A and B are shown apart, each in its own frame.
Chain A
Amino acid sequence: MATLRELAKEDLFLSSGHRMCAGCVAPVVVRMMSMAARGRNVVVGNATGCLEVATTIYPYTAWKCSWIHNAFENAAATISGVEAAYKALKRKGKVEDDYKFIAFGGDGGTYDIGLQSLSGAMERGHDIVYVCYDNGAYMNTGIQRSGATPKFADTTTSPAGKVVPGKTQWRKDLTAIMVAHNIPYAAQVAPSHWRDFVTKAEKAIDVDGPAFINALAPCPRGWRYDTADGIEMCRLAVDTCIWPLYEVENGVWKLTYKPKEKRPVADFLKAQGRFRHLTDDMIQEFQEQVDRDWEALLKRCGEA
């Protein structure tokens, strides 16, 4: 594979000059998908969310490829319609070029309100890639808790108060839910591990049938970290095993990165303002859950 420096020189479908916040990792996710899609014609679908509102404020657009936004919960159904049109028009000889179809949605638009639409599109087997940029809350509307928000996180609808210590539930395991659709390819990625990311994205784009990528995309506003530290947040999530990197290809689970030394979850939690209120007991509870999840994943991947 080319170096990151070389890939960054490719004609990427998301231009610079978009209006995402400084320190937001979502555009990095998009640009890494674009690096993987280099040389291919792409149509992008986008759920309502930060990425959509900040990149297409009329009359401007940051998208160099064709792009469609429909609503919040229907990016998967919308891109499946685009893909169906492509198949029909290609069959009739009305479209000659080859196209790839990539949908982006945040975790709110994917784990929660868009789950049905996504499940339907995956079950129907459209030749699409759905990428969730997971920042762990409804960041666009002002940091409300979602099904992807980690336990104990302080959000505006799970505020850490005197009685309730932030979010009281664990995260939904969306990647496993997508795997349960028996799709040919599903993976978890983090932009801190760019080579792993781009390799998986290429597989997802080129596989025949639906593919799902869950990409960690830290949010400086919601997580409360310094804007320069977005990629470091990714690295901490991966090295603490809070966000393991793995892929499931035709039902076969494979760990693609194993930290040499598993760092304590406290390293991740203490780096962010949203976990500032955590007691040692809460950190311990968090550590035990991550340990259980990690062991289960190692088993699934034949590593334990």
Chain B
Amino acid sequence: MAQKVAITGNEAVALAMKQINPDVVAAYPITPQTEIVQIFSTYVSNGLVDTEFVTVESEHSAMSASVGAAAAGARAMTATSANGLALMWEVVYIAASNRLPIVMPVVNRALSGPINIHCDHSDAMGARDSGWIQLWSENTQEAYDNMIQAVRIAEHPQVQLPVMVCLDGFIISHAMENAEVLPDEVVREFIGEYVPQKTLLDKEHPVTAGPLAFTDSYFEFKRAQAEAMLQAKPHILEVAREFAKISGRQYGLFEAYKLEDAEIGIVVLGSTAGTAKNVVDKLRAQGVKAGLLKLRVFRPFPAEELAAALGHLKALAVMDRADSFNAFSGPLYAETAAAMYDSGAQTKMVNYIYGLGGRDVGLDDIEKVYGHLARIAESGKVDQRLNYLGVRE
């Protein structure tokens, strides 16, 4: 029987890791992820997992050891935040290229500088082109559920790609919420035994992993990697359908909230979706046709599905909790706009950069965005594409 518990995001992620019982966890402390490693180490110390726990001297080594472990046929995990992910960067790409099904919770935190420990999405957004699948979570429940599904997605024979499970630092990681957790045996049965396609630990079939690939082969490796990402969507949905059977909770590529008949809407990632849903409810009560789309799967980017869900809107704001510093827009806006343009949608679009370095995003902030959208919908004109929300100018 599933059990309702009061639990923080970090506790839920650590619990999922305990239930997954990975062969190897290689990790390094960094706020706000540290608790995951701490809690997991108590599982190790008390014999509650069979994991070989490698307390590395840096995140670069955390990802390096995870690559070695996964190549040796182990179910391997690590966890990180912000600068830790940035330090891993080189090896994050190698993990994806080597098609190693590593699962990594990323407790989203602002990248330095200036140094800051609070939430934004600059860390995971920096790794958006690294070849990892990215699942984003609105709350503790979703972080837990994404962790368990991530194992199946990563290891799917037609996917074989590493997966980041993103959860907002402090807002989700440290906040106590009610969540439903599954019994250990249900999780164990759901994820199954991992049977690697190749391993370094097979003396009858030695492998050369990570060779030099020059002009005559590098492109083919990258093309195969791109193909895996292109083909991943149905497998992510297939895992979600199976997960619904054990949990009763439905997951898709995104969640459309009161979007069907909406005239104005926003696209948002992570915990801000919860705040924004409240605003949508309030506006709906006032007769405003507001909706929202919360993206769950950012990699692979569900361009056609997004455009199909958003194309009927008169005005759309894409919320970016990271800046690209490209003098144009945040990353989520750029990709959403490209998807909308390709679909031929006539929706007027604006971009809001918000919440950097943990800047609080309140109901009134989100209301301002919808107010802006209502004016655009009425006038049919975008006055200002790039907007910064909640910052002193």
Contacts and interface: CB of A to CB of B under 8 A. Distances in A.
B65 A92 contact: no
A61 B201 CA distance: 17
Given A116-B57, A117-B61, A81 B206 contact: no
Contacts of B203: 41, 66, 97, 99
B54 A124 contact: yes
Interface residues on B, range: 35 or more
A289 interface: no
B68 A79 contact: yes
Contacts of B23: 85, 88-89, 92
Contacts of B200: 43, 66-68, 82
B56 A68 contact: no
A95 B201 contact: yes
B206 to A, nearest CB: 4
A74 B208 CA distance: 17
Given A70-B68, A78-B68, A80-B54, A85 B73 contact: yes
Contacts of B58: 116-117, 120
B353 interface: no
A270 interface: no
A105 to B, nearest CB: 13
Interface string B58-101: 10110011111111111010000000000000110010000000
Given A71-B91, A81-B69, A66 B61 contact: no
B60 A57 contact: no
Given A70-B67, A82-B68, A58 B211 contact: yes
Interface in B188-234: 200-203, 206-214, 217
B212 A85 contact: no
Contacts of A193: none
Interface string B270-300: 0000000000000000000000000000000
Interface residues on A, range: 35 or more
A54 to B, nearest CB: 8
Contacts of B202: 66
Nearest to B204: A97
B320 to A, nearest CB: 31
A58 to B, nearest CB: 5
B211 A84 contact: no
A200 interface: no
Nearest to B93: A71
A86 B203 CA distance: 13
Nearest to A45: B68
Contacts of A43: 72, 200-201
A78 B74 CA distance: 13
Contact of A65 (B24, B74, B206): B206
Nearest to A68: B209
Contact of A82 (B55, B69, B94): B69
B91 A70 contact: yes
A84 B65 contact: yes
A81 B67 contact: yes
A274 interface: no
11 contacts: A53-B212, A68-B71, A68-B210, A77-B60, A77-B64, A80-B68, A81-B69, A85-B52, A91-B50, A94-B73, A95-B201
Interface of A: 41, 43, 45, 52-53, 56-59, 61, 63-71, 73-74, 77-89, 91-92, 94-95, 97, 99, 116-117, 119-121, 123-124
